[in-house]
Amino acid sequence: MVGRGNKPTALAATPGLAPQPTVTFSDDNSKVTAVLPTGESVEVLLYGATVISWKDDQGDEKLWLSEGAKLDGSKAVRGGIPLVFPVFGTAPDHAQTGKLPQHGFARTSRWEFLGKSTSESAEGKEAADLSVKLDFGLSTGSVDEKTKELWAYAFNLIYSVTLNRTSLTTALVVTNDDDKPFECQVLLHTYFKIKDITAVEVTGLEGASYIDKVDNASVKTESSANLTITGETDRVYTPTGGPQAPVTIKENGKTRYSVVRDNLNDVVVWNPWIEKAKSMGDFAPKEGYKNMICVEAGSVRGWQTLEPGDAFEGAQTITLG
């Protein structure tokens, strides 16, 4: 075969798309799981739109989930990140929410998965830019008749869960679709997984006014720069630095989690300790209080009033230490 003097150069291979996040449903369509190409993952139950798992690229779980948690829709999930709306706790003297069960109905309603969105291709970018956002919806038309009787307002909720390599953002948008105003409270009831509660300190609360629910709801001021947990703790703080000032969870002096809030002025710190843990049927193991702490971003010391057509948005971003 005679060689040709001017061979065509080889065609450049078509560049493949960079690995993308994957989103899958469980076989029974009860749960959505998102995984980044680098291994980080998040799992969200459609029941309550409850985040029940958040793992880093090594597969280490960041959220505490009770071994006795009900994941079948029979009751609110004990652990993960339950959504509190439109009332925090109970408010028997509040005209609009007084008949609702504890923490309202968002955490015990089945949400609709609205879709996913991902960050742009990581090609030519750092892997740290990778992210996936999952959107969930709940509205007047999708709650049961009993809920409509207890809370007779037209509303729309959009909940977004965004997974990044080193952070998780959860954001709730509340819209008043009614022709009359309503009042509401919002809380992201996050259960953080830790190794030893006696080695934990919470910072960012010094000087904050708080309601001590373990002490007859008395109002106090936090004097410690490093809050430690030594017994049953149930406090509603309003940090002095505002939502953008981080509240951190340290263990053995090292930052494990840092929480920055958007439009959520309050932070609830909760640990049931020994006796309260024993009294809760779905709290397991009973010694699990040693391995969890709730630091919950919310707007709960007062009420958000939404006029017809108005919307309220609140969010938290949790960054790994």
What are residue 193's DSSP bridge partners?
292
HEC string of 6-46? CCCCCCCCCCCCCCCCEEEECCCCCEEEEECCCCCEEEEEC
58 a known binding residue? no
Q: What's the CA gap between 231 and 203, in Å, rounded? A: 18
Cite the active site residues. Answer: 189, 296
110 a known binding residue? no
* Phi and psi angles of residue 27, each rounded to the nearest 5 degrees, phi first: -60, -35
304 a known binding residue? no
* Environment class of 90 (CB within 10 Å of its CB; exposed 0-12, middle 13-18, buried 19+): middle
Q: Which residues are annotated as a binding site for substrate?
A: 78, 102, 107
Q: Which residues are annotated as a binding site?
A: 78, 102, 107
